[in-house]
A and B are shown apart, each in its own frame.
Chain A
Amino acid sequence: MEGQPVQPAPEETPRDANPANVGLELFGYVGIEAVLDQMRIKTMKTGFEFNLMVVGQSGLGKSTMVNTLFKSKVSRKPTGPSYEERIPKTVQLQSVTHVIEEKGVKMKLTVTDTPGFGDQINNENCWDPIIKYINEQYEKYLREEILISRKRKIPDTRVHSCVYFVPPTGHWLRPLDLEFMRRLSKIVNVVPVIAKADTLTLEERAEFKKRIQKDLKAHGISVYPQEDFDDNSDDRILNNKIRDKIPFAVVGADKEHQVNGKRVLGRKTKWGIIEVENPAHCEFPLLRDLLIRSHLQDLKDITHNVHYESYRVQRLNESNRLALSPINGLLGKDEVESDL
């Protein structure tokens, strides 16, 4: 007993103190689930941000679609007959930001439009400005994140979702579509939609969709919802249903008409009124549900956890294997020596 050296050391084993995390039964009500309400209150106070980008040739109804989605004049494109739309010589990106509120939930919505995309005779590299813009947003966020004294809430301008409008040819995807989607699906969530779907009959629509799905698979383009990011089997079932219907055939309209005594959003033509929100007429409700009602948070999460992280990894690796960690940078003796 005498002379036994006692070696004290703080027992710091937070993670594997117990080899298996012990699952315990609660004997009665504790109140843990109140944390959900707390979270809800907090998020309602801070508000949400959502950044959407619409890409497609001019005249496919992008601005109308955005207006229909958010039921307000988000993009102010006058649609009167006297308006002459000038097609810009180069691809430009225009962002408009609005704050919208519904039932106490505030959302800062930013819509980025891309006039001039695919409108030139030679459309080579017309996706470059778009890719540059998206990467610029990632860069901005990265800079804010690695500051020493950084803001409590980093302003998020990263593009959460890119809606790509496919012209309703009824045949296959064009080379421009394939190229664009191939490049962009790697850095952002791409949601392809068939624009102006009222020019296709239901059978033509189904055929077109099947061909598009085959094309996408053949070229290895993974559009949102990506198969790799399904969290659990419930998600997978839900997402599989969505994946069957991608790309949605949508019609946009921002004028209201009278149908059967109700006022509905729709397009009035000589042969009938196409109701935008009628699932039998077009798949706009599905798109809206996907983008806003059910998968908005998921879009943001995938952008943050997957696309932003891969940009960050690439960026940090670029600077000569300079680890962002100050610890690694200084103690990176092993790293550096091994290269020598």
Chain B
Amino acid sequence: MASSEVARQLQNDNCRPLSLSGHVGFDSLPDQLVNKSINQGFCFNILCIGETGIGKSTLIDTLFNTSFDDRVSTHFQPNVRLRAQTYELQESNVRLKLTIVNTVGFGDQINKEDSYQPIVDYIDAQFEAYLQEELKIKRSLYNYHDTRIHVCLYFISPTGHSLKTLDLLTMKNLDSKVNIIPVIAKADTISKTELQKFKIKLMSELVSNGVQIYQFPTDDETISKINATMNGHLPFAVVGSMEEMKVGNKMVKARQYPWGIVQVENENHCDFVKLREMLICTNMEDLREQTHARHYELYRRCKLEEMGFRDTGPENKPVSLQETYEAKRHEFFGELQRKEEEMRQMFVQRVKEKEAILKEAERELQAKFEHLKRLHQEERMKLEEKRKLLEDDMIAFNKRKAATELLQAQAFASTPSVSLKKDKDRKKDPGFRLELLCFDVRDHEIVSVQEQSEREKLERDRISHREFQK
């Protein structure tokens, strides 16, 4: 019913400029933005790569004019590890969340083939964490603690000759992932002339090996000149020190030698001030932007392409991410179902097998039971017969007894000698009778006399065994 027509009269670049006839007031926009950022705080993450003892921690302390962590690491680390620490600094109204990542054990191993791998993995892990957060459905990017490395300070040993192979290898692997600023550490061990030659050699080596180090941006007029000159001074030769010494009438940070004092903040002595200028005062924002806009985007693109997502389909038609997800999802779903079927089949089979076994066992048991029952019955029948016989015997005996009693009564008057015999007989008879009684009582157990005697024998044996054991 109601249709909407958006009539966009002017497209992006052909916007008509308009002149204002008075003061509108949006020139306060940059200030508004800055105020918001102040409220939110800033994040800056520095990665320091260098051999143990080259002065990474001292330099960072000097750069930020504070003492961070005092832990000195040993030279006997089996692998390169990274140690990250976060600090909150505040200067006037600016809050900075500074994370310093140090490499522990870099260059100490005998076999340094894999030294750079943990570093690359760490940087990738930070990008990955950010990517994950960005791709979540419910995300909160604006108060996400950004841990992506914004700048990497690479400390070069002041040999005076050239780059070490390890340095070259590491920098080559990192230059597409992070902004690298190479610095010559412990620069107070090189003389001025040597330093010049060293710098030239280093830069030419880097260029010839295709290592892309961070160039200070020269597109903005306000800082292009100073940045251009600084670009010519790379790599910076730095000296770090937190100890203060009295020089002239001021207290300055310096290192004292028997032959003189090396002042950290003296531009003639070392490039520390230049480094601090460039890193913090002039280009911090640019470093962050480059990390986000260039390195992170590259990582994201590579990662997503790896996963198989494309912007344009095989016929060069733009494929929305949506369709690719659908396809992938169907594929995955199908695979899942197949696996499930498989598992189900296996389960069913196992159950069948188990059932068969159980049935077998049941049948066996049943057969056994039947067999035992039959045996039982036979025994019972036998015993019944025996019992009948015995009863018959009993009746016969009773008859005989009655007869003999009669005879006895008749013969009582005649001879007593017969009574002895009768006594004997009588003695026997109660014994026999007793046995019969006993048999009766135990009749319901259906245990034959033979078995009973055997049992008694066993019992006796057992007792004697036990006594023997004792």
Contact = CB atoms under 8 A, between A and B. Distances in A.
A155 B303 CA distance: 24
B94 interface: yes
Given A21-B86, A92-B5, A48 B24 contact: no
B438 interface: no
Interface stretch (A77-85, A161-169, A185-193, A324-332): A324-332
A301 B280 contact: no
Interface stretch (B60-68, B164-172, B199-207, B453-461): B60-68
Interface stretch (B131-139, B154-162, B414-422): B131-139
A298 B36 contact: yes
B90 interface: yes
B99 A28 contact: no
B409 interface: no
Given A23-B88, A99-B17, A330-B328, A336 B26 contact: no
Contacts of B220: 41-42, 45
Contact of A296 (B32, B64, B304): B32
Interface string B59-96: 00001111110000000011111111111111111101
B18 A129 contact: no
Contact of B320 (A143, A152, A298): A143
Please classify how large the interface on chain B is, using the bins under 10, 10 to 19, 20 to 34, 35 or more. 35 or more
Nearest to B39: A231
Given A26-B66, A324-B137, A296 B89 contact: no
Contact of A316 (B26, B87, B137): B137
Nearest to A13: B84
Contact of A324 (B3, B94, B303, B321): B321
A50 B26 CA distance: 11
A324 B135 contact: yes
Contacts of B145: 15
A9 B80 CA distance: 9
A313 B135 CA distance: 11
B290 to A, nearest CB: 11
Interface in B293-338: 293, 297, 300-301, 303-305, 307, 309-311, 320-322, 325-326, 328-329, 332-333, 336
B15 A108 contact: yes
Contacts of A41: 220, 222-223
A316 B134 CA distance: 13
B402 interface: no
A12 B82 contact: yes
Chain A interface mostly helix, strand, loop or mixed? mixed
Interface stretch (B121-129, B177-185, B365-373, B441-449): B121-129
Contact of B32 (A26, A298, A305): A298
B81 A36 contact: no
A336 B29 contact: no
Given A35-B285, A70-B20, A14 B126 contact: yes
B208 interface: no
B407 interface: no
A193 B463 CA distance: 112
Contacts of A232: 39
B332 to A, nearest CB: 6
29 contacts: A8-B78, A10-B82, A10-B118, A14-B101, A21-B86, A22-B85, A23-B89, A26-B66, A29-B91, A42-B285, A42-B289, A71-B23, A90-B1, A103-B27, A129-B3, A143-B320, A148-B304, A232-B39, A292-B24, A292-B25, A294-B28, A296-B26, A301-B36, A305-B141, A309-B139, A324-B321, A327-B135, A329-B332, A337-B336
Given A36-B37, A326-B304, 7 more contacts: A8-B78, A22-B87, A94-B6, A107-B29, A130-B4, A298-B36, A337-B336
Interface of B: 1-12, 15-34, 36-39, 42, 45, 63-68, 77-94, 96-97, 99, 101, 104, 118, 121-122, 125-126, 132, 135-139, 141-142, 145, 147, 220, 222-223, 276-277, 280-286, 289, 293, 297, 300-301, 303-305, 307, 309-311, 320-322, 325-326, 328-329, 332-333, 336
Interface of A: 6, 8-15, 17-18, 21-36, 38-45, 48, 50, 69-74, 90-105, 107-109, 112, 125-126, 128-130, 132-133, 136, 143, 146-150, 152, 155, 231-232, 265, 288-289, 292-298, 301, 305, 309, 312-313, 316-317, 319, 322-330, 333, 336-337
